Structure 1
Amino acid sequence: MSRTGSPLVTLATAVCRFDDFLGAAAADRLLEGACLAQREHMAAERGADAPVPERWESPERVLRAPALAEAVRGLSAVVQDMLGVSAPSGRMGYRFVTRNHQKAERRESGPVIRACDGRKGADNGQAISFVYTLHRRPREFTGGVLRVFDTTVVGGHPACGESFRDIRPDHDTLAFFPASAWHQFQWVSCPSGQLADSHFSFEGWLA
């Protein structure tokens, strides 16, 4: 029972995880190309000697990953069945995100968000979220776990639950979950501060 006397309701969030998704060679090529594109973009924006930012994000139009996009589309039907979520339009989008925090004493995780929430909380039509993770081996950062929360009910409306699933930030790993689920990334500590040692991810959606 909740403190208000109402029954507690928790809906477990389904997560589909695919390990060794593209294969070692393809994943390494994608990582190398993404790092090169980020270096060039950062140099044009901030100068060649600019430090690596704690968080850097590139939209799809700046950094394209056609092989990854094609592979994700190939899984769309089975993922919809496994999650019990429909993404009928066939639309897809993604962004490339780098996380690299050098200050290990600061341990705040990222905000808890829902991909389906657009501006001012309006539904943006996104049905399924996906996160594809890359990193250099051996891994030179700590943290970076993707935490996907279960859903509860507060005041008659869906809300972020206390229970969750943690998805390790393993190289060449792809995870799908409903875009209506709350999620966050845990703090990434990267003592070297080098771009190549960062936590890299392609974060996208199906609609």
Structure 2
Amino acid sequence: MDANIDLKKIWNKQETNVPKVEELFSKLDQFKRNSLLKLILVNLTLLLTILCIGFIWYYYKPELITTKIGIILCILAMIIFLVPYNSQWSLLSTQRTEPNSKDYLQNLIQLKEKQLFQQTTMLSNYFIMLSLGIGLYLFEYVSKMTISLGVVVYAATILWIGANWFYIRPKIIKRQQEKTNNLISIFKKLSKQLEN
């Protein structure tokens, strides 16, 4: 079977009420642009956060080793999160190809696999390391507070981490997966039509 089949021609021959191929590729391009913008913003945010944490370490010169270990764990968590996250760059930054190839479907499937790995394994590792780092970092400063204030600080920190883990993270993952799955299902339908 020829790898370069005119998807545009086949797509437009359909009698069902489906979007035109130009709209489909436009949606895909918009999805890629939005995902690329998100990737850039996450990189900038985490790199600025790393710089701020480094500045705090340099300027305030923590005394306890737990504080230093906490800072290192936080920075390491962000770096470990960014390395595989940036592997999506090559899939998102590729220029639009002609709509007569199956590259779009393969790119989307690869992107979904990378996102799934990022959303499960890497995000879990990130949250665990970041939580431990914040807990160790706070120890030096909480130890100088009254017990009741220390409990409030740790409770608020645990509450914030829990809200991110159990509420915000699942909503973001679900929204991202819905967008990717929607595009993949449309391109799979198109590929099945090619096989018939």
**Structure richer in helix, relative to its length:** 2
**Structure richer in strand, relative to its length:** 1
Q: Select the structure of larger CA radius of gyration.
A: 2
Q: TM-score range by the shorter chain?
A: under 0.3
Normalized against structure 2, the TM-score is what?
0.22
